[in-house]
Amino acid sequence: MRFQGITLTFYQVQKMIRIIYGLVLILGMLSTKDVEGRTARKLINFEYNAMSCRTHSASIIDFGGVGDGTTSNTKAFQTAVSHLSQFESDGGSLLFVPPGRWLTGSFNLTSHFTLFLDKDAVLLASQVMGEWPVIDPLPSYGRGRDAAGGRYASLIFGTNLTDVIITGNNGTIDGQGEMWWQKFHGGKLKYTRPYLIEIMFSDTLQISNLTLINSPSWNVHPVYSSNILIQGITISAPVNSPNTDGINPDSCTNTRIEDCYIVSGDDCVAVKSGWDEYGIAFGMPTKQLVIRRLTCISPTSAVIALGSEMSGGIQDVRAEDIVAINSESGVRIKTGPGRGGFVKDIYVKGFTMHTMKWAFWMTGNYGSHPDDKYDPNALPTIQNINYRDMVADNVKMAARLEGIAGDPFTGICISNVSISLDVKPKKVQWTCTDIAGVSSQVTPKTCDLIVDQGSGYETECQFPTDTLPIDDVEIKTCSCYRRYL
């Protein structure tokens, strides 16, 4: 074969073709500009752990996303999810968010869908009020938390979904909450602040391996949902920020929260099920909840709070291997007349606390009603509350346990608990009213209403030995391999 006076053998031509083909592949993987001025395709390959793997995938860049921190990507996210929803019945889909700062307002998810954030990806919550739709209040609450009436939709929102995963390799969701906190403190909110993540009326939900910072209000709020795994989440907000609860399972069944680190301006985990007459009428409890390997810092609130909105009931909560640092209380039950409902079958063990105001706190006089239509005779039932194998140091006061007159909290059991006091502790370490229970091997000595069983009659408080269905969920290793714009 001859080219302008050069003679090539057949094998030399083959070799040249292979070299040229290899160069084309390499150039295709580089982020250069093509003749139309568009960014060339990048090869993306990663693995992740999830309850479900996906057949289809796309990048937010494919839908016009720009990760410069100033361009709004709300339309890009909405368009991406709408496009990928066509694959719900064909193996599902994954939306990849690559490195960058992706400014966006609220957007909805779809079923059989994964939102995946790269480790260098940051979702930035928009500061433009028009990018936050106003939606109806939750039916079990009757009104918004900050104001009567509606509420702003969460940054990541979904309702009536199946099989939803929000994950990454520790990518970040930044709520940029300062604007909202100022509006709240200034009484300038017409509607209730948005959360970072809220999924409603859904089944099979995974939220994992993410960092959530500066939420306008609550961070993670699964509500009216079941089969939920929340795992490997880091949550951070200023400790004086208003109502920045970490994780709030609300009228949910079969939930597992584990391996999370939370610094919060409110409760780290707040278990809820509706507010007064609205929660009673809706009647959906939170039950079968596992919380394990949680580390919490919350100087003004609880590590785990049960209530105060618990009118649909809370049952079968299992918390173990918890570390509390510089927090107001370890486990707190919050309720009062008008709440109705119940908190029962609560099991806590392996709790380590450092620098606390109270180790234990139960409140039967919590106010905060949605309106004046509640029934003051709707009294809650609080029973079978078990705490065991706990250690605390630098504590101001061991316990403040306050039931309701004529409606005592019963079946309280506290065993194998050692509490060391700070240098200026309260003179009275246990205050107890309208409660009943037993204790063994507890220091300092409990109040008379928590009867010390004495030597030879040690009682080991209950902790279930069976497993819940959420513990049997299979986690798969999934992979994503494709080229993106």
C-alpha pair distances (Å), 386 with each of 124, 311, 461: 41, 21, 6
CA 283 to CA 12: how far, in whole Å?
Answer: 79
User: What's the distance, Cα to Cα, between the start and end of the chain in Å?
Assistant: 39
Alpha-carbon dihedral of residues 118, 194, 54, 93, nearest 10 degrees? -100
CA 387 to CA 350: how far, in whole Å?
Answer: 9
Active-site choice (163, 245, 266, 316): 266
CA 28 to CA 238: how far, in whole Å?
Answer: 45
Q: Is 345 a catalytic residue?
A: no
DSSP-derived letter for residue 178 is H
Adjacent-strand bridge partners of 275 = none
Alpha-carbon dihedral of residues 179, 180, 186, 187, nearest 10 degrees? 150
Q: Which amino acid is at 100?
A: G
CA 336 to CA 411: how far, in whole Å?
Answer: 18
CA 186 to CA 164: how far, in whole Å?
Answer: 36
| 314 in Cβ contact with 343 (< 8 Å) | yes
**How many CB atoms sit inside 10 A of residue 173's CB?**
27
Residue 72 in tokens: 């709004």
CA 350 to CA 319: how far, in whole Å?
Answer: 8
Adjacent-strand bridge partners of 42 = 484
Q: Which amino acid is at 260?
A: C
| 262 in Cβ contact with 298 (< 8 Å) | yes
CA 407 to CA 388: how far, in whole Å?
Answer: 25
| 430 in Cβ contact with 403 (< 8 Å) | no
Q: Is 312 left (phi over 0), alpha (psi -120 to 50) or beta?
A: alpha
Structural element, H or E, at residue 430: strand 430-433
CA 395 to CA 402: how far, in whole Å?
Answer: 19
Catalytic positions, written as ranges: 266
